[in-house]
Amino acid sequence: MNESIYPYTFEPVFRNYIWGGRTLETMFGRNLPPGTVAESWEISGHPSSPTAVSNGPLAGQTLPELLELLGEALVGRRSQAMLQRGKFPLLVKLLDANRQLSVQVHPDDDYAARREDGELGKTEMWYVLYAKPGAYLIYGLQRNVTPQSFRQALKAGQLETCLHQLPVKAGDAVFIPSGSVHAIMDGIVIAEIQQNSDTTYRVYDWNRVGADGKPRPLHIEKALDVINFDMVEPGPFNPQPLPAVDGVERALISGCSYFNVERMSLAEGATFNGHTDGSTFEIWGCIEGETRLTWAGQPVAMPAIRFALVPATLGDFAIEANTAATMLRAYVPE
């Protein structure tokens, strides 16, 4: 038995931005550092905020170090292109929006490779953990918005007239492909699963200033290069039911070439039997209730909200529900 192959949990890395708060502590019981916390990077191989293993023989190793040590045994055959780049494919975050985020857009891989020194583009999905009554996201554009009218609204400081508002509630999933104009608004907590990239073009910041009293930098020309003006008034991802097993309901809640994300609802006492066969790793997150991930008789506690990384060559494992629970499962599709 390879002692380096087991389900990994990680110490989160916290980031502070002007729009954050303390909701991850007050609502979800997280132990936070003092001050405002906007993001908790849960599983990250990005060089700006790599997360370190918190359990087992490899505790203290960062995810990039884990990738260098294990290679394909960690990520699987489907991630060869990312392995050649020395990058773990996905990144998982929690975001606490006490104020609205800036309006942003992300480039695709080709544009980022040309303009961002070989960095990846960014396609992502959001799973809404909490939304205050009346909460909404900015997602896509209003009808009849053109690059010209978009630029004019920017100059006038009135971009709101171009933006599509999408009402959301807890449990909604929203797929954000590269090129999508988007913003998380206030009173929302989100779990985000995305490409391993931090490439963001801020196009509008609500005419506000940063902590230093100055407007935050914008990236308008690059944003206009990559915005998909055909994304008009999109809706949330329509869950696609998947085969169920006793006590476990499944649905695909986002899918693309970079990742599939499933939601699983488990009744108390239910078990989902999983298996990784070397083709892809899996990321599991408990977002409601309490579960445990067991492998070779060894349990990994999975309370809400916690994520674990199952290596591609782990083999058999099980998700066991101590209480009624909701899980997210992410992996690289064929």
Catalytic residue set: 202
Quickly list H helices, the chain: 23-26, 63-70, 72-75, 80-85, 109-115, 147-155, 220-226
3-state SS track over 202-228: EEECCCCCCCCCCCCCCCHHHHHHHCC
Please state the length of the chain. Answer: 334
**Which residues, in sequence order, are CB contacts of 224 under 8 Å at separation 6+?**
147, 150, 151, 203
Contact 63, 44 (CB under 8 A): yes
**Which residues, in sequence order, are CB contacts of 65 under 8 Å at separation 6+?**
none
Rg (CA), the chain: 20
**What letter represents residue 165's amino acid?**
Q
**What letter represents residue 181's amino acid?**
V
Contacts made by residues 43-49, CB under 8 angstroms, sequence distance 24+: 43/10, 43/90, 43/91, 43/92, 43/283, 43/307, 43/309, 44/10, 44/13, 44/91, 44/92, 44/93, 44/196, 45/87, 45/88, 45/91, 45/196, 46/91, 46/196, 46/197, 46/198, 48/198, 49/13, 49/15
How far apart CA 289 and CA 328 sit, in angstroms, is 12
How far apart CA 311 and CA 223 sit, in angstroms, is 36
- Report which of 287, 323, 291 is spatially closest to residue 305, judged by C-alpha positions: 287
Structure tokens at 170: 């807890």
